[in-house]
Amino acid sequence: MIPAFFGCWLVFFQPACKSPVKTKITPADVLDKVPFQALTDSIRRFPSDASLYTRRAGLLSQHNLPELACLDFKKSWELAPGEMTAIQYASSLSILDRLDEELSLLVSCQGAYPASREINRMLGEAYVQSGRNRDALNLYDSVLKKAPGDFESWYEKGLLLSRMKDTSGALQALRTAYTIQPTSTYGLELAHLYAETNNDKALPICDLLLKKDSARELIDPFFIKGIYYSNTKNYDLAVTQFDSCIRRDWKFTEAYIEKGIVFFRQKNYDVALNTFRMAATVSNTYPDAYFWIGRCYEATGKNEEAIEYYQRALSLDRGFSEAKTAIKRLKG
């Protein structure tokens, strides 16, 4: 068996009367064995050959040994810095959640490879992950000033502006990305933002994507149309769209939730309750389902049952602030 991570402990269970024995895994336990042994032997003979480290890092990654792979990518980078090596090394740092090291590497590489779209993309993502939204936005603007047709940067900028609650800016960026490269991913993101802002421009985008879906596999266009109709209080049309989602994928929990919310808004609490219960059946670890069951009970004056379900939601998501507020409200 190949160990999962360098430096981890493997536990070999002895008979029940004995305590487990822990064995520390060292790099040699991995690197000197098949399938890594041949490359390790070559590295010993040619320790300054960066390509050997890169090849072994790739093999280690394939065998789910990211820490050892990262060490090899780092060594390859030190021996022969290059754009592709930097990308591989940064990716390995990202997998290990070593964000500070990844950022440091990418910032230095941006100066060395300013035209690298992949490095700029990774740097933007790292900025966002570290909460440096303004730095990410400045990076996208800088890239787009030089390459206004870079649809990926327009798309990433749109997502970032949406998270920053700059809806008009996000719509403009996503429209540009979709105009340059009309993929389903970009179209769905744009349509969803239109739907959330009650803009009927969401509908033709969704209809176009459904028309192109010859395999009849897409679900999101129906869901987005349902959100639009729900937001604009066209409740019957909303339910029709959510039902279309469920017919294509009966495990699509969000569709049950949104469908239940439609009935809840209409004060049809019995139907709403049954719909939310179905959501909880489909996914019994989905906190929103229990929260909305609680809302139904609270709306019909069954406060003890409501508290029980709010607590279930909170047990699945300790940061569920609405559930906390509801419990506090009902307990007085």
- CB of 21 closer than 8 Å to CB of 14: yes
Sign of the four-CA dihedral 80, 84, 87, 93: negative
Taking 50 as the pLDDT cut, the residues of the chain under it are 1-23
Query: At a CB cut-off of 8 Å and minimum separation 6, what does 1 contact?
Result: none
pLDDT of residue 14: 38
Distance, CA of 90 to CA of 319 (rounded, Å) = 31
| pLDDT computed for residue 26 by the predictor | 66
**What is residue 25's predicted lDDT score, i.e. its pLDDT?**
53
pLDDT at 300: 97
| Token pair of 97 as six digits | 């959640």
pLDDT of 136: 97
Q: What is the pLDDT of residue 28?
A: 72
Distance of CA 230 to the CA centre of its chain: 25
pTM above 0.95, yes or no: no
Report the relative pairing of strands 9-12 and 21-24 from DSSP bridges.
antiparallel
Give φ, ψ of 232 to 5 degrees.
-95, 10
